[in-house]
Amino acid sequence: MLRAQIDFSKKLRDWDGFGISYHPSEIAQIQENPGVIESLFGHEGLKAAILQIFLGPHNQEYTDSDSNEEKPINLKDYKHQINDTGQLNVCKSALEEVSRWGGGLKILVTCLSPPGWMTKQKEVSGRDLDSSKRVDYARYMVSYVKYLVEECNLPVKYLSIHNQAEIWELWNDRGFLISNAGNPKIYWPVEQLVDFIKLIRRLLDLNGLQHVGLTPGETQNWGNFYKWGYAEAIYDDPQALDALSILTSDSTVISKKYTHACSCNSAGIDLLRQKKTDLHAWSTSIRTSHHRVSLLHEIYNNIYSTKVNAIILDCSVKSTSISLSDSQFGNLNFAESNYFYIKPFFMAGQPGMGVSHTTCNGSEIEIIAFSSNSTRNPDSFLIINTSELAWEIPIEIRGSACGCFQAFRTSETENCLKLNAVSVREGKIVHTIPAVSITVFVGSVGAV
C-alpha cells in the first residue's frame, strides 16, 4: 500500500536556497531581455537567492610586479571594469529584483582560468600554471572580488577556485587542449589546490575581505571530489580545511550507463564533516536542459543523497520574447519548457529553511520537505511523480503547526496551476498526484 510521511520536526540540515547560473556567452542576450532577470529573481518569478558568476582570463595584461603576496592589491592594475560590464549589469539588476521583495542575494564567483601569460604554455587554457606566477594568479582572483565588493557594492559571499579543472585528459602531452572544453580552464592537481586554498584565504584577509568565504572549486561531480583525492587532501591539511567556508561541486552525470552514480555521492562531504560538522555544501551547474524526469530525480538526490545545503541551476536562456503573466510565461522557452518544473522548488525551499525528514514507499515518487526553521517562510513540501500513472497518496504530517497547505501543480498540461487548499485531517492529507508531475504544498496555519 502506498504511504508517505513528512516530519518537519526532524531537521536534516540547514537550507541555503536555490540559485541560478548562466553561461558567460549569454550575457548580451540577457541584457537585451530585461524580463529574464525578473523571471529568475523577481517576486513573481523564481525568487532565486543565489547567483553564480564567472571570472575569465582577460582582465590583466602581462606584468612582472604582482608576485609579492604582502603587497596591497591595486585595482588599477586590472581591467575588470572594462571587460566585465555586461556581467556586472546583470548582477546589479538581479540584486535590484531581489531587494524589491525583501530578499538577500548571495553571489558566488567562480574562477575559470588565469590569463594565458600565467601558464607554462603561455596561452589561455594552457594546462599548467607557471609556478612563478602562483601569487599573480591568486591576486588576480582576489582583485576581482575586491572590485565587486568595493567598487560595485555587490554582495559577494564566496570565491570558488576553479570549475571542472580536475579532468587532466582534456590536454595533450604538451599541455594544450585536445578539443574545445567549454569554458577556459587550467588543470588543478590536488597539491596545487590545497596550496591555493591557504594562499587565497591569506590574500582575502590581507585585502580587507575577511567576510568573503572560500570554496575549493567545483569538480565535475561529487564523485570526483572524493575519488580523485581532493577531499582527502583537504582532510589531511588542517589549515586548508580551516580556510574553507563551504564545499562546492558541479553535479554532472558523466556516463549515461551510470546515471547518477557519480553525480550524487556524499563521501567527500561526509569525510570533511567529520572534522568540520557545520560545513555546508552547494551543488552547482545542475542543467535545466536535462530531460525533466532526470532533472527532478537529480534535484531530489542532491538534497537527500548528496546532502547538500543549496542547489544552483544552470539555466539556458533561449527566448527573445519574455512575459511574466502565467498565460504567456511559456514564451520564455526556459530550457525546453522546464521552467515550471523547477519553479516549485524555489517556492518551497527559500534560504534559512531546514531540510526535513521524508519517507515514501513509491518507487517513482519522491518527497522533498523544508521546515520553516524560524524564518517567515511556512513549512512546505513537494511531491514528485515521475511515473506514467497517477497515484492517490496518503501523507502523514508530523511536527508542523500548519493546518492546511496551498497546492500548486506542474504537469504535462499545467504550469504551476493553483489548486484548492488541502486540510490536514487526523494528522494526514490525501492527494492525487498526476503522472509526470510536481506539486508544491505551501503551509498556512488553520484549516480550510
CA distance 424 to 405: 8
Q: What is the pLDDT of residue 336?
A: 45
Last residue of a domain, one of 291, 323, 351: 351
Q: What is the model's pLDDT at position 239? A: 98
Q: What is the CATH number of the domain that holds 269?
A: 3.20.20.80
pLDDT above 70 covers a percentage of the chain that reads 91
The separation between the first and the last C-alpha atoms of the chain, rounded to the nearest angstrom, is 28
pLDDT grade for 321, boundaries at 50, 70 and 90: very low
Quick check: 269 pLDDT over 70? yes
Pick the range with the lowest mean pLDDT from 30-44, 187-201, 323-337.
323-337
**Do 339 and 431 share a domain, yes or no?**
no
Q: Which residues contact 430 (CB under 8 A, 6 or more apart)?
A: 392, 393, 394, 395
Residues in the chain: 448
* 139 in the same domain as 55: yes
Tally the domains of the chain.
2
User: What gap in Å lies between CA 215 and CA 310, rounded to an integer?
Assistant: 14
pLDDT bin (cut points 50, 70, 90) of residue 316 is low
The predicted structure's pLDDT at residue 73: 96
Q: What is the DSSP string of 112-161?
A: ----GGGBTTSSTT-SSB-GGGHHHHHHHHHHHHHIIIIIT---EEEEE-
Q: Which helix (H) or strand (E) holds 37?
A: helix 34-41
Q: Where does the pLDDT of residue 264 fall: very low under 50, low under 70, confident under 90, or very high at 90 and above?
A: confident
Looking at the structure, do residues 304 and 416 belong to the same domain, yes or no?
Answer: no
Q: Are residues 5 and 69 in the same domain?
A: no
262 and 129 within one domain: yes
For residue 415, which of 363, 353, 340, 354 has the smallest C-alpha distance? 340
pLDDT confidence band for 27 (50 / 70 / 90): confident
Selection from 120, 59, 13 nearest residue 369 by Cα: 13
103, pLDDT greater than 60: yes
Domain boundary pick from 333, 351, 369: 351
Average pLDDT over residues 73-101: 93
Cα 416 to Cα 332: distance, rounded to the nearest angstrom: 15
Task: Give the chain's mean pLDDT.
Answer: 90
- pLDDT top residue among 183 and 379: 379
Q: What is the pLDDT of residue 320?
A: 31
Cell of 445: 496555519
Q: Note whether 295 and 364 are same-domain residues.
A: no
Q: What is the DSSP string of 219-257?
A: ESSHHHHHHTSHHHHHHT-HHHHHH-SEEEEE-----GG
d(CA 276, CA 282): 15
Find, among 304, 402, 361, the residue nearest to 4 by Cα.
361
Are 195 and 278 members of one domain?
A: yes
Task: Say yes or no to pLDDT of 410 above 80.
Answer: yes
Q: What is the pLDDT of residue 372?
A: 98
According to the model, what pLDDT value does residue 256 have? Answer: 46
- Least confident stretch, 21-30, 172-181, 254-263, 349-358: 254-263
Q: How confident is the model at residue 181 (pLDDT cuts 50, 70, 90)?
A: low
Mean pLDDT on 19-24: 87
**Do 165 and 33 have their domain in common?**
yes
**Which of the four pLDDT bands, split at 50, 70 and 90, describes residue 260?**
very low
Task: Give yes or no: residues 432 and 324 share one domain.
Answer: no
Instruction: Give the Cβ contact number of residue 139 at 10 Å.
Output: 27
> What is the per-residue pLDDT for 447?
57
Q: Using CA atoms, how far apart are residues 353 and 17, in angstroms rounded to an integer?
A: 8
Amino acid at 18: F
- Predicted local distance difference test score (pLDDT) of residue 328: 37
- pLDDT at 329 > cutoff 60: no
pLDDT at 422 over 80: yes
Same domain, 51 and 175: yes
Contact criterion met (CB below 8 Å) for 402 and 424: yes
Q: What is the CATH number of the domain that holds 412?
A: 2.60.40.1180
* Cell numbers for 325: 503573466
415 vs 324: CA distance, rounded Å:
13
pLDDT confidence band for 446 (50 / 70 / 90): low
Q: What is the mean pLDDT of residues 138-142?
A: 97
Instruction: Select from 351, 376, 409 the last residue of a domain.
Output: 351
User: 411 and 310, same structural domain?
Assistant: no
pLDDT, tens digit, 9 for 90 and up, residues 54-72: 999 999 999 886 788 999 9
Q: What is the per-residue pLDDT for 335?
A: 44
pLDDT, residue 265, reads 92
DSSP, collapsed to helix, strand or coil, labels residue 94 as helix
Give yes or no: residues 46 and 193 share one domain. yes
- Domain residues for the domain of 117 are 17-351
User: Going by DSSP bridges, is the β-strand pair 246-250/218-219 parallel, antiparallel, or unpaired?
Assistant: parallel
Identify any residues that bridge with 395 across adjacent strands, giving them in sequence order: 4, 429
Q: Residue 56: what residue type?
A: G
Mean pLDDT throughout 283-305?
A: 89
Please give the average per-residue pLDDT across 142-166, as a whole number.
97
